[in-house]
Structure 1
């Protein structure tokens, strides 16, 4: 009887499981992409952009965990494979543009997934997608703002971040003005 119940549950929620696994793949790929951007921003000493990319990458990892937990609750299995390979983009404006495209694509995809989960009478998965859409919209807004700052202030915006990084580096090495 237990295996029959499990089979019925899997069949009943298979659409949600598939939607959630698709989301896991997107989140893994996006998290890796943002971590790639983080390392390049950090290497260029753009501390603020580096921090943003790192924090949002970690937020995407939390989404992977939430989606995975839901899949397991629905008695499915998690497919932990990135939906795309990390792209080697290293120019600041292009990184922010790509991040905006990733967020917008995710928002569009999750709106559709939310609708489909609701159609299949899975209110929890429907709400989960809605809640995560709100977070993705905040990420999109952050990337829009940073790109606009870069467009408005140009290289000066990046130079200020680099100078802030140099100040931080000199403090950590105990150079004059470093407080140690």
Structure 2
């Protein structure tokens, strides 16, 4: 089925964002694991895999619309050095995604591509949930201080 070029471009732009998020979250998860923040590392790794699922759905839709998924480009990967910086970097990628998804939904609905709009709405719901999580974590860091917050992330390895 031949898709609208503007819709395919929105799908590809979001695909780029998802591929970027996969890398950013995965790197943050590995850093968190290295720092001993095992609970946070598990959560962040799962977020990376969730973004991979989004990338898969977008890839399938682009191919269905006879477009070519662009796996050649990434947006800037923001790497935090502290837990606060990591949360802020991850939050920024979500803010940008939410804006893009809302614009895409409007364009897709106006062009009559309800299926693509529904895909974007599903991803939007996930991103809104993630930004809510990040906002909560940033509030906790602010209230508790980074040291006490991090103390809650440590998990002793099984013997």
Q: Same fold (TM over 0.5)?
A: yes
**Contact 1:28–1:81 (Cα < 8 Å) also in 2:** no
**Structure 1 partner of 2:123:** 132
1:111 aligns with 2:120: no
Q: Does 1:46 align with 2:37?
A: yes
Task: Provide the residue aligned with 2:72 in structure 1.
Answer: 81
Give per-residue Cα distances to partners, 1:63-122, cap 9 Å, x unaligned. Answer: 000000001111111111343242332111011011111111101110001101111111
Equivalent residue, structure 2, for 1:121: 112
- TM-score, normalised to structure 1's length? 0.83
How far residue 150 of structure 1 moved from its aligned partner, in angstroms, is 1.5
Are 2:144 and 1:153 equivalent residues in the alignment? yes
Q: In structure 1, what is the Cα distance between the partners aligned to 2:99 and 2:124?
A: 9
Q: Is the 8 A contact 1:26 1:82 kept in 2?
A: no
**C-alpha contact 2:29 2:45 (8 A) present in aligned 1:** yes
Q: TM-score by structure 2 length?
A: 0.93
Contact 2:78/2:89 (<8 A) preserved: no
2:14 corresponds, among 11, 19, 23, to: 23
Gaps of 5+ in 2: none
Deviations 1:28-55 (A, max 9, x none): 0011001111111111111221112111
Following TM superposition, where does structure 1 have runs of at least 4 consecutive aligned residues deviating by more than 3 angstroms? none
Q: Cα RMSD between the aligned structures? A: 1.4
Any gaps of 5 or more consecutive residues in structure 1? 1-5, 175-180
Could you say which residue in structure 2 is the equivalent of 1:3? none
* Larger Rg belongs to: 1
Distance 1:87 1:130 in 2: 25
8 Å contact from structure 1 (residues 114, 130) kept in 2: yes
Q: Look up the SS of the partner of 2:152 in the other structure.
A: helix
